[in-house]
Amino acid sequence: MGLKLNDDFLWGGAIAAHQAEGAWNKDGKGVSIADILTAGANNKPREITDGVIEGLNYPNHHGIYFYETYKEDLALMAEMGFKAFRTSIAWTRIFPNGDDAEPNEAGLKFYDDLFDEMHKLGIEPVVTLNHFEMPYHLVKAYGGWSNRKLIDLFVKYATTVFTRYQDKVTYWMTHNEISNQANLTDDVMSEFMIWTNSGLQFAKDTTPEEKLAAMVQAAHFELVASAKAVKIGHEINPDFMIGGMLNVAPLYPASPKPADMLAMQKARQLHDWFSDVHIRGEYPAEFEAFAKRTGYRPDITAEDRNALREGIVDYLAVSYYNSTVIKAKSDRDTNLEDVKGYEIVPNPEIPVSDWGWGIDPQGLRYTLNELNDQYPDLPIMIVENGFGAYDEVVDGQVHDQYRIDYLKAHVAEVEKAVVNDGIPVIGYLSWGPIDIVSAGTGEMSKRYGYIYVDLDDMGEGSGERLRKDSFNWYKEVIASHGVNL
Ligand code: P53
């Protein structure tokens, strides 16, 4: 038995445009940074190619054809009783190159239809402005977010869609998982995340310190752009709820050794400044000291600082998948800039998924409590959580008890956080309620859905949708307000 949540709790699911829509070059859409990512595999990173190269497998080009199938797919979400559904607007449908003088009407029209359909079904849209899919032209012509000009281009895009959908969308968030790019302990993943967050690319011999410096400056521009968008959004519609969005993974020390504790704390602070800027409008003290010591964020103006203070967010949107264990590489002190001073090590206390992601439901309750301690009473929406797993179809059925187990355990912890700990969690949107292309690996076979999609890693298959066992499970959870887990 779970604990009952209020009627207005936003149960639902979440996707991103580039992982689902396909139609990558239809109706005037421009090339995004996701359109030049090849398919990787479990343990094989995706490749960033120089433009679209004939003959390579680009899974985001087709996604799950959601651009064409959204009506049937949303009907299945409604059948599960979804109160809310999160997706992103593909920036490149609205401004194909990012610096176009006028928006693309066909792109704007698509999201009008999508949001109208959701309202018809009684589903509240929750919309991400920038989910790993900025226009590729902004990388080529401007150097991605290393360029201050991106602030105005993003604000123009945000203003356009805020204005257009002001009566259709209340819940927004600016940049998806803005702090992922601070995961600098692993070279391959850090390059990938600095690409997906900021559109930055590095020469082979770039040092971790140089990457950190570039990331910190780019992230500053992203935060200013976000804050300016928040301010304008509130002018357009004072009822807008505009959030900052972060992946939250609790960090545990590898041992009670003081050096591990300190390394864990510094690793955490290397992420926490993003949320402080979003929520408090200020960089925290230890970040300012780090920036001063290293000179890594040379371009910050008084006007920027003012913009950050004027654009604080209304709520915090978080994704939660796993927890991380941090081990100091030596007994000496770790500072914020010592990204190679610690490493991520496995947690022997918890099981892992087939992709090596640690399964830690209690870590979710712990994280929600930590966030509420840090930012008291700020509404939190869980906008991603889920279990990427291989599924097998037998006689048209998918018996995904492993997924139900994962979700059940996590939802139970959310309910304890709300009911027993008094934390203002306003929604739970699980990731990929329908199977979509994995962001990290480009695989279709890393599936999160309640709804199975018959497509494989090469994009082959009928595209048919099937209800998995978890579909009926989640339907019952929603219908019982979280009681029947
Ligand atoms: P996939 C890394 C770490 C945590 C969350 O991820 C991440 C990533 C990037 O892969 O991304 C979020 O598909 C992201 C979604 C993504 C989801 O987690 O690699 O916001 O776009 O699909 C799950 O299994």
Q: Kindly indicate the confidence band of residue 45, based on its pLDDT and cuts at 50, 70 and 90.
A: confident
Alpha carbon 362 to its chain's center: 21
User: Closest by alpha carbon to 437, among 425, 429, 445?
Assistant: 445
- Within a domain: 216: yes
Contacts of 303-307 spanning 24+ positions with Cβ under 8 A: 304/220, 304/224, 307/224, 307/227, 307/228, 307/231
Contact 401, 422 (CB under 8 A): no
93 has pLDDT over 90: yes
Element (H, E) at 450: none
Query: What distance in Å separates the CA atoms of residue 82 and residue 124, rounded to the nearest whole number?
Result: 9
Q: Kindly indicate the confidence band of residue 363, based on its pLDDT and cuts at 50, 70 and 90.
A: very high
- Within a domain: 4: no
Read off the pLDDT of residues 63-90 as tens digits, 9 standing for 90 and up.
Answer: 999 999 999 999 999 999 999 999 999 9
**Predicted pLDDT of residue 248:** 97
109 has pLDDT over 90: yes
Query: What distance in Å separates the CA atoms of residue 445 and residue 41, rounded to the nearest whole number?
Result: 9
Q: Kindly indicate the confidence band of residue 189, based on its pLDDT and cuts at 50, 70 and 90.
A: confident
Q: Which residue's C-alpha comes closest to atom 10 of ligand 1?
A: 440
Which domain CATH number covers 220? 3.20.20.80
When divided into structural domains, the chain yields a total of: 1
**Predicted pLDDT of residue 340:** 85
Q: Is 460 a catalytic residue?
A: no
**Predicted pLDDT of residue 427:** 98
Average pLDDT over the chain, rounded to an integer: 97
Q: Which two tokens stand for residue 47?
A: 């490749």
Active-site choice (133, 191, 337, 384): 384
Cα Dmax for the chain: 64
Residue 258 CA to ligand 1 centre (angstroms):
32
Residue 248 CA to ligand 1 centre (angstroms):
12
**Predicted pLDDT of residue 91:** 99
**Predicted pLDDT of residue 397:** 98
Pairing mode of beta strands 342-345, 324-328 = antiparallel
Element (H, E) at 319: strand 315-319
- Within a domain: 1: no
Read off the pLDDT of residues 225-281 as tens digits, 9 standing for 90 and up.
Answer: 999 999 999 999 999 999 999 999 999 999 999 999 999 999 999 999 999 999 999
Residue 351 CA to ligand 1 centre (angstroms):
19
Q: Which domain holds residue 342?
A: 10-479
The pick from 321, 360, 385, 457 for probing ligand 1's pocket by mutation, whose C-beta has the most ligand atoms within 8 angstroms, reads: 321
**Predicted pLDDT of residue 357:** 94
**Predicted pLDDT of residue 192:** 94
**Predicted pLDDT of residue 43:** 84
The pick from 33, 176, 177 for probing ligand 1's pocket by mutation, whose C-beta has the most ligand atoms within 8 angstroms, reads: 177
Residue 236 CA to ligand 1 centre (angstroms):
31
44 has pLDDT over 90: no
186 has pLDDT over 90: no
Q: Kindly indicate the confidence band of residue 399, based on its pLDDT and cuts at 50, 70 and 90.
A: very high
**Predicted pLDDT of residue 185:** 81
**Stretch among 117-121, 201-205, 370-374, 447-451 having the lowest mean pLDDT:** 201-205
Query: What is the mean predicted confidence (pLDDT) over 376-381?
Result: 98
Which residues' Cβ are closer than 6 Å to ligand 1? 16, 19, 176-177, 180, 247, 319, 321, 384, 388, 431, 438-441, 446
- Within a domain: 43: yes
Query: What is the mean predicted confidence (pLDDT) over 314-324?
Result: 97
Query: What distance in Å separates the CA atoms of residue 108 and residue 37, rounded to the nearest whole number?
Result: 25
Q: Which residue's C-alpha comes closest to atom 16 of ligand 1?
A: 439
- The string of DSSP codes covering 156-190 is HHHHHHHHHTTTT--EEEEETTGGGGG-TTSHHHH
Residue 439 CA to ligand 1 centre (angstroms):
5
Active-site choice (177, 222, 413, 443): 177
- Within a domain: 193: yes
**Neighbour count for residue 373 (Cβ, 10 Å):** 9
**Predicted pLDDT of residue 317:** 98
Query: What is the mean predicted confidence (pLDDT) over 41-52?
Result: 93
Q: Which residue's C-alpha comes closest to atom 2 of ligand 1?
A: 440
Read off the pLDDT of residues 200-233 as tens digits, 9 standing for 90 and up.
Answer: 999 999 998 999 999 999 999 999 999 999 999 9
Q: Which residue's C-alpha comes closest to atom 22 of ligand 1?
A: 439
Q: Which residues pair with 432 in a beta bridge?
A: none
Half-sphere exposure of 83 (CA within 13 A, CB side): 16
Q: Is 117 a catalytic residue?
A: no
Residue 208 CA to ligand 1 centre (angstroms):
22
Half-sphere exposure of 61 (CA within 13 A, CB side): 18
